[in-house]
Chains A and B, each alone.
Chain A
């Protein structure tokens, strides 16, 4: 048994099985509150806590699953290519939207966290909150944050955006598909994009574009602006 848990097959099989079950639940209940990522993460965290299995053991298989994030990011070129004409025509609104979102993310995140008395390590780890995991890790290292804590906050942000994002956008009367996709991707990176893909391939494609653009902008903006906010 112990040996089995140490083998990568344990984490891989467990992750896929739990996610499939969570997806079936989501398909049945059709409410964003049971978002498959949220349900799977909560279930697995509880499972690890209750059984005492270490994250290290789990992630030997888990990292096999998340390895495919790399080719998946490359794959975002495909929906983008399909919608290239529309994206090129709207380059100015798209670029401005991402830049505005990136600035908002830094200012609001850091100021709110500081106002509520977060320690410096937490504030720094929160700063790249809306950036996709691999880029956020790079930024966290550069600004002296705790990379793995930053990654956790990135996932939390993504899950919240996937659960509440579409409702918030509708509440704010953002109806235009390009604007919705861009907002989901800028705010909630890949997890938001997975949710945006449910609204349509154009919304998903633009969200995918926003992941890359926000990453590019944030890599420069966060180290530049952070000294003025701390």
Chain B
């Protein structure tokens, strides 16, 4: 039963896509589609988006390894996806559901590596002062220097006022 529902959703998705890029582009700018996607279609979109993100990470890993660039494959994948979005090889609505979903829970993903500090409690206790001081003073300095430099050069570069405070969800 569920199987056939999923297959139906997949077919519907295929049909919509094969209707050509013009339909897709129009539906993106013209707001709501004629038929709103069903729940299973929406979930399929998420899955499709996640598959694309993983695929780009995979290609990123391969490329980074091949070229011997010392950055993680995921950062390479981010750059590749950016290029693919810009070149319209990948459409934004294919990936944005999965991407926004993952980024909404980004903080969760850091919890397990954070718990890794349990392995260093002894060392942290012994050398807590330099570690804490370097972390706190360092963070304070990096935040203010980066913020100031960026803000100063932005103001100088933009004589016309930007509608920058329009951002706030």
Contacts and interface: CB of A to CB of B under 8 A. Distances in A.
Contacts of A32: none
> By DSSP majority rule, is chain B's interface helix, strand, loop, or mixed?
helix
Contacts of B89: none
Contacts of A5: none
A74 B81 contact: yes
A158 B107 CA distance: 10
Contacts of A178: 150, 154, 164
Contact count band on B: 35 or more
A187 B142 contact: yes
Chain A binding surface SS class: helix
Given A104-B146, A219-B70, A156 B108 contact: no
A96 B133 contact: no
A81 B142 contact: no
Contacts of B81: 74, 77-78
A168 B135 contact: no
A48 B115 contact: yes
A203 B54 CA distance: 25
Q: How many residues of A sit at the interface, in one of the four size bands?
A: 35 or more
Given A92-B157, A122-B131, A135-B72, A77 B85 contact: yes
A202 B167 contact: yes
A164 B56 CA distance: 34
Nearest to A114: B130
Contact of B74 (A37, A41, A134, A152): A134
A69 B54 CA distance: 11
A225 interface: no
A26 to B, nearest CB: 10
B96 interface: yes
Contacts of B164: 176-178, 202
Interface in B42-101: 50, 53-54, 56-57, 60, 70-75, 77-79, 81-82, 85-86, 92, 95-96, 98-100
A1 interface: no
Nearest to B106: A194
Given A165-B143, A177-B167, A77 B103 contact: no
10 contacts: A19-B108, A70-B57, A71-B98, A73-B78, A77-B99, A90-B157, A96-B153, A98-B146, A130-B138, A153-B135
Interface of B: 50, 53-54, 56-57, 60, 70-75, 77-79, 81-82, 85-86, 92, 95-96, 98-100, 102-104, 106-121, 123-124, 127, 129-131, 133-155, 157-158, 162, 164-165, 167-169
